[in-house]
Chain A
Amino acid sequence: MNNITIQNLYKDGYYGQFGGAYIPELLHSNIEELKQNYLDIIDSDEFQKEFKSLLKDYVGRPTPLYFAKRLSQQYNTNIFLKREDLNHTGAHKINNTIGQILVAKHLGKSRIIAETGAGQHGVATATVCALMNLECIIYMGEIDIARQAPNVAKMKMLGATVVPATSGSKTLKDATNEAIRDWINHPENTYYIIGSVVGPDPYPDMVARFQSIISIEMESQLLEKTNRNYPDHIIACVGGGSNAAGAFYQFIGNEKVTLHVAEASGKGIESGETAATGAIGTLGVIHGSRTLLMQDENGQIIEPYSISAGLDYPGIGPLHAELICSKRATLHSISDDEALISALNITKKEGIIPALESSHALAVLNKTTFSPSENVVINLSGRGDKDMATYLNQFNLI
């Protein structure tokens, strides 16, 4: 396992056996155009200058690396929170949408489409479309539209058209299918902003690059706070896996850093109501990527369940499938209840209301013992504003 870095883990569109572009011919030209151009665009001075300036002045980066004193006392170790919750729009999602909207502009696209589950990626996309004055169409499952009303309202106020996905199970996976269909129907003027490290190559790599700012900042912040530019542990939640990819990016090749993946087991891995793809997923193809996914014995994709809409996805990014299968990352399955307990705990201890997704990462503290000398970074991917209805309800606060 010497010298495994993200750069040599990702080869010809694959991470080990995972990844690739399993797309119909109808999408070939769109994907090929992106593949041929994305690295040149991202590496250009012009792009870098604009990207960095927007991350700083618009998103509010760098986000703090906060030493959580009371949490550290509670768990008798050194816990740092990477505060992605303090980004504009309240989560890490905007790092990616800023990057992709600039790519779309460089490719000369005038119409932006995206899928969203909880609405976080939809809001982050609608936000950058308003910023860049581009037409924005967001596909969202009919059921999610009903249960995430505040985010739907935000997207509309930002000028986006929210199109209900009425096919299949009417949630994130179907919204993704609809977005793909839209792209097939508009191959020339439309750019598809995917919200995580999922989908056909080169999306997983491109999104990971945009999120890598999380671990790039961590390095200098850790050096300043701990005299070492890497931690002993990094914990991140994984839906598709974009915040985790960003938090792991700089450390994948450093074996001294243990990477922890927290996925949502919903009501339990064996309950039939789960999103624990890493634990029960098997090899297959979903949304253009060869990866682990939840499927029945006939190869039909199973609708996942989690209390957290952002983790409610039946697949997992190909990078994480590889990290899990090669045992480079340690997998934790966190239930609804475990996440809720951790959400309430950090709120009381640190005065931070976390997103339900991020609470799954926090719950790993109850699953693993860290030593008093170790430094543990938890990627706090988002804030809890969007989850207040669930929290009020669950904690009997009304």
Chain B
Amino acid sequence: MIDNNLTRVLVRDKKFLSIYVTAGYPKLNDTAHIVKQLASKQVDFIELGMPFSDPMADGPVIQETSSVAINNGMTLSLYFEQVEEIRSKSSIPLVFMGYYNQIICYGIEKFYQKCEECGIDGLIIPDLPMTEYENEHQILQEKYNLSMTFLITPQTSNERLQKIDKLTTGFIYVVSSNSITGSTKNSSNQTIDYLKRIGQTVTKSQKIVGFGIHDHETFSNALAHNDGAIIGSAFLKSLNSDNLETDINNFINSLKQTS
């Protein structure tokens, strides 16, 4: 049984708020500081993005912050050092979000082992195919006590939803519309139908909705139909002054109340 900071938080009876942070952005060593500040604002868990040169499931904002971080000198080894730094002060659940190529390059088992060692709790690897997960990764993730999150979209069939619900050991990442991260489409009747369908089909896992949440209204909508929300692009865009602390406080406050 996988038991880590993330699984322990996910059993709580509440609506979750998660923030996506690009590691190494805006400055190489800002990561731990940003996460600490988010934790102090009652953010429930962090998706910590490992920047990749070709993030095909992500939109322009995450691609841009990733480029900046790579140019800052961000590497997977530094990523693990930053995770250790965060872990030495906080037990906030940390979910690795990154692309499969970097894991292959690092060495698959070595990667999972290092994740556990440094204090990563969960994983999102958007381009890891489900069959490869079942054949090779599931057993390693169990060995190293890591929780796996899968994405679902309005196009995901009920049969596939059930399978994903069964395989998930973290939460299910509900993509709100057919769009890459950072889009700002509004919710429509179609979206409501989709959320209802998920509600009926996904029985085991927590459903956290992401993609396109950027203000109080989209945030409250997301919470009304799901177990929580993940915010990425809008958060990264808000880091635009010299004072990260103020930016973060303002952003989280604006989500929680109407402006």
Chain A residues close to B by CB (< 8 Å): 20-26, 28-29, 167-168, 173-174, 177, 180-181, 184-187, 282-288, 293, 295, 297-301
Contacts and interface: CB of A to CB of B under 8 A. Distances in A.
B32 to A, nearest CB: 20
Given A20-B132, A25-B126, 19 more contacts: A20-B129, A21-B129, A22-B129, A25-B150, A25-B152, A26-B155, A28-B153, A168-B54, A177-B56, A177-B63, A181-B180, A184-B57, A184-B179, A187-B153, A187-B178, A283-B104, A285-B101, A298-B76, A300-B52
A282 B64 CA distance: 26
Interface string B92-116: 0000000111111110000000000
Interface in B1-59: 52-57, 59
Nearest to B104: A284
A184 to B, nearest CB: 5
Interface of B: 52-57, 59-60, 63-64, 67, 70, 75-76, 99-106, 126-129, 132, 150-153, 155-157, 160, 175, 178-180, 183
Given A284-B105, A299-B105, A184 B151 contact: no
A282 B101 CA distance: 11
B156 A28 contact: yes
Contacts, number: 106
Contacts of A283: 104
13 contacts: A25-B150, A25-B153, A168-B63, A185-B178, A185-B180, A185-B183, A186-B178, A282-B105, A283-B104, A284-B104, A287-B56, A298-B75, A300-B53
Q: Give 10 closest A-B pairs by Cβ, nearest first.
A: A299-B105, A299-B102, A29-B155, A24-B57, A24-B126, A25-B151, A300-B53, A285-B101, A284-B101, A22-B127
A222 to B, nearest CB: 41
B75 A24 contact: no
A22 B127 CA distance: 5
Given A184-B179, A185-B180, A298 B56 contact: no
A24 B129 CA distance: 8
Contacts of A168: 53-54, 63, 67
A299 B54 CA distance: 10
A300 B69 CA distance: 12
A287 B160 CA distance: 23
Nearest to B150: A25
A24 B56 contact: yes
Main secondary structure of the interface of A (DSSP, over half): mixed
Q: Most chain-B CB neighbours within 10 Å: which of A21, A167, A297, A298?
A: A298
Contacts of A285: 99-101, 104, 127
Contacts of B129: 20-23
Contacts of B175: 25-26
B94 to A, nearest CB: 20
A167 B101 contact: no
Given A180-B56, A286-B101, A26 B64 contact: no
A173 B155 CA distance: 27
Nearest to A295: B105
Contact of A167 (B64, B70, B100): B64
Nearest to B102: A299
B106 A301 contact: no
A21 B104 CA distance: 15
Contacts of A295: 101, 105
Contacts of A284: 101, 104-105
A26 B59 CA distance: 13
Contacts of A22: 100, 127-129
Contacts of A184: 57, 178-180
Nearest to A20: B129
Contact of A300 (B70, B126, B178): B70
Contacts of B151: 24-26
B102 A181 contact: no
A26 B183 CA distance: 14
A298 B72 CA distance: 14
Contacts of A186: 178
Contacts of A23: 127, 129
Contacts of A299: 52, 76, 101-106
Q: Most chain-A CB neighbours within 10 Å: which of B52, B53, B129, B179?
A: B53
Contacts of A29: 153, 155-157
